[in-house]
Amino acid sequence: MKKVQLTETVLRDANQSLMATRLPYADYEGILSDMDKAGYYSVECWGGATFDSCLRYLNEDPWERLRGLRKNLPNTRLQMLLRGQNLLGYKHYHDDVVEKFIELSIKNGIDVIRIFDALNDFRNIETALNATKKYAKEKTIASGCISYTQSPVHTVDKYIEMCKELKTMGFDTICLKDMAGTMSPYEAEHLIKGIKDAIGDMTLILHTHCTTGMAYMTITKAIESGIDVIDTAASCFSGGTSQPSTETMFYALQQYGIETGLNEDIINKVNDYFKPVKQKYIDNGQLNPKSLATDAQALVYKVPGGMLSNMIANLTDMHAMDKFDAALAEIPKVRADLGYPPLVTPLSQMVGNQAVTNVLIGERYKNISKEVKNYIKGEYGIAPAPIDPELSKKVLGDAEPVDCRVEDQKRTGEDFAAAKEALGDLCRCEEDLMSYICYPDQTLKFLKDRKAQEENEAVYTIEEM
Ligand code: CO
């Protein structure tokens, strides 16, 4: 019997795409033991923006969250999304930091590490891959991930070459990450047939979003073309900028006689659990119904869900929502100027912010963000196509672009030494150090709060006795 497995994304990508990753662990702990019996290929639950959000907004230790997930989902593959050399941050880290991060992620419970580079510059995912192999446990899977986008330089042949390269590098599975939901059924068919021919029986995964309304058609074509795993979200957290619905795909696949391994009662129970959770965030405004709509304009703008909800949030904060359409229209122009980078973190934020800046100031590139300057200098890797020469000259002057790997390969331990010194006795474990290296300000505040809270609790306990 033909088999297609499902990865449940409600805890990570659906949460990230629909409500800017503000779902606290406490809101879903109660359903985890049921989710463990659902029969998913994996549960995507960590990485992406969850780490940042835990420290910045939720006053949660992301590592503790991971250990909680591990404890309550003992039989399920726990999956994370990792931005290659950027880990879960927005800049390149040194190789020794990347290695330690992977070691700790596996130690604390991660099974599947889906690794991508925003530019598909695979030199930027090699260190993470090698570390995953080095610290791998029995169930560990290193998944090589391609950031899918369309541009004059992103052809089917180019994607097939990329997949061959990921296979040669030693990845266990390959994922096509269509973060903007712009992959059409036609493209999925040609792409997936071509890739399957090239990589043989290696597991191929499709990750897409409903943003443009094409996802169900695209997934159906992907299934007909030989896809092995698809990403879906519990139906009440599906659609819009999120993934297609788990129960819907289960129902459709069942009629085709395709086995999913899912337990129907449990996936329904999971969805029932999340209904009031969703309602709570609609009521308090953290889940903007705009994220739930279909927006075919994204076919032009190639904007991923998370980027759209962030842009709405930022422009609302600045009372500049009237500039939303103009900012959206500026995005593809900025993207072309920068050599058609796929719009995925951190490039999506960089391109998005630059587009907003260009529109708000009313003059293009009058202000260029530090990140965009660094990108043009070559610090993020090689752009898919040449950068606009005028813009390049404006940033580089007469200087030559740099090779990002030269800096990344330094293994001086300096990041760990600096973190130790900054944290002093606030630091209790390597995980604290790693949080600080990734998000220094947020982590310092979090650890200070933790200490203060514990001292208060200690006083309280003594008085009570
Ligand atoms: Co996604």
In order along its 465 residues, the chain shows pLDDT tens digits of: 799 999 999 999 999 999 989 999 999 999 999 999 999 999 999 999 999 999 999 999 999 999 999 999 999 999 999 999 999 988 899 999 999 999 999 999 999 999 999 999 999 999 999 999 999 999 999 999 999 999 999 999 999 999 999 999 999 999 999 998 999 999 999 999 999 999 999 999 999 999 999 999 999 999 999 999 999 999 999 999 999 999 999 999 999 999 999 999 999 999 999 999 999 999 999 998 888 999 887 787 777 766 777 788 888 888 999 999 999 999 999 999 999 999 887 888 899 999 999 999 999 999 999 999 999 999 999 999 999 999 999 999 988 889 989 888 888 899 999 999 999 999 999 999 999 999 999 999 999 999 999 888 877 666 655
With 0.85 as the threshold, say if the pTM is over it.
Answer: yes
User: What pLDDT is recorded for position 1?
Assistant: 75
User: What pLDDT is recorded for position 299?
Assistant: 84
* Cα–Cα distance measured from residue 121 to residue 383, given in angstroms and rounded to the nearest whole number: 8
User: Rounded to the nearest whole angstrom, what is the distance from the C-alpha of residue 124 to the centroid of ligand 1?
Assistant: 19
CATH class belonging to 297-396: mainly alpha
* Cα–Cα distance measured from residue 424 to residue 9, given in angstroms and rounded to the nearest whole number: 37
* Cα–Cα distance measured from residue 88 to residue 116, given in angstroms and rounded to the nearest whole number: 11
Q: Read off the tokens for 383.
A: 């752009």
3-state secondary structure the chain: CCECEEEECHHHHHHHHHHCCCCCHHHCHHHHHHHCCCCCCEEEEEECCHHHHHHHCCCCCHHHHHHHHHHHCCCCCEEEEECHHHCCCCCCCCHHHHHHHHHHHHHCCCCEEEEECCCCCCHHHHHHHHHHHHHCCCCCEEEEEEECCCCCCCCHHHHHHHHHHHHHHCCCEEEEEECCCCCCHHHHHHHHHHHHHHHCCCEEEEEECCCCCCHHHHHHHHHHCCCCEEEEECHHHCCCCCCCEHHHHHHHHHHCCCECCCCHHHHHHHHHHHHHHHHHHHHCCCCCHHHHCCCCCHHHHCCCHHHHHHHHHHHHHCCCHHHHHHHHHHHHHHHHHCCCCCCCCCHHHHHHHHHHHHHHHCCCCCCCCHHHHHHHHCCCCCCCCCCCHHHHHHHHCCCCCCCHHHHHCCCCCHHHHHHHHHHHHHCCCHHHHHHHHHCHHHHHHHHHHHHHHHHHHHHHHHHHC
Whole-number CA gyration radius for the chain: 22
Q: Residues 324, 328, 333, 336: what is their CA dihedral angle, to the nearest 10 degrees? A: 140
User: Rounded to the nearest whole angstrom, what is the distance from the C-alpha of residue 17 to the centroid of ligand 1?
Assistant: 7
Q: Read off the tokens for 454.
A: 């514990």
| Interior/surface letters 63-91, b for 16+ CB within 10 angstroms, e for the rest | bebbebbbebbeebbbbbbbbbbbbbbbe
Please tell me whether the peptide bond between 346 and the residue prior to it is cis, using omega within 30 degrees of 0.
Answer: yes
User: Rounded to the nearest whole angstrom, what is the distance from the C-alpha of residue 251 to the centroid of ligand 1?
Assistant: 23
Q: How far is CA 113 from CA 63, 101, 130, 133, in A?
A: 15, 12, 12, 11
User: What pLDDT is recorded for position 310?
Assistant: 78
User: Rounded to the nearest whole angstrom, what is the distance from the C-alpha of residue 87 to the centroid of ligand 1?
Assistant: 16
User: Rounded to the nearest whole angstrom, what is the distance from the C-alpha of residue 209 to the centroid of ligand 1?
Assistant: 6
User: Rounded to the nearest whole angstrom, what is the distance from the C-alpha of residue 194 to the centroid of ligand 1?
Assistant: 23
User: Rounded to the nearest whole angstrom, what is the distance from the C-alpha of residue 413 to the centroid of ligand 1?
Assistant: 33
What residues form DSSP beta bridges with 82? 115
Q: Are 165 and 135 in contact (CB under 8 A)?
A: no
User: What pLDDT is recorded for position 429?
Assistant: 97
Q: Tell me the CATH number for domain 5-283.
A: 3.20.20.70
User: What pLDDT is recorded for position 165?
Assistant: 98
User: Rounded to the nearest whole angstrom, what is the distance from the C-alpha of residue 9 to the centroid of ligand 1?
Assistant: 9
User: Rounded to the nearest whole angstrom, what is the distance from the C-alpha of residue 314 to the centroid of ligand 1?
Assistant: 20
Where in the chain are the domains? 5-283, 297-396, 414-464
Residue in 371, 436, 288, 292 with CA at minimum distance from that of residue 118? 371
User: Rounded to the nearest whole angstrom, what is the distance from the C-alpha of residue 115 to the centroid of ligand 1?
Assistant: 13
Q: Are 219 and 206 in contact (CB under 8 A)?
A: yes
User: Rounded to the nearest whole angstrom, what is the distance from the C-alpha of residue 3 to the centroid of ligand 1?
Assistant: 23
Q: Read off the tokens for 177.
A: 């990450």
User: Rounded to the nearest whole angstrom, what is the distance from the C-alpha of residue 242 to the centroid of ligand 1?
Assistant: 7
* Cα–Cα distance measured from residue 208 to residue 238, given in angstroms and rounded to the nearest whole number: 11
User: Rounded to the nearest whole angstrom, what is the distance from the C-alpha of residue 177 to the centroid of ligand 1?
Assistant: 7
Output the CA angle 279-280-285, nearest 5 degrees. 95
Fold equal for 5-283 and 297-396: no
User: Rounded to the nearest whole angstrom, what is the distance from the C-alpha of residue 272 to the centroid of ligand 1?
Assistant: 23
User: Rounded to the nearest whole angstrom, what is the distance from the C-alpha of residue 81 to the centroid of ligand 1?
Assistant: 9
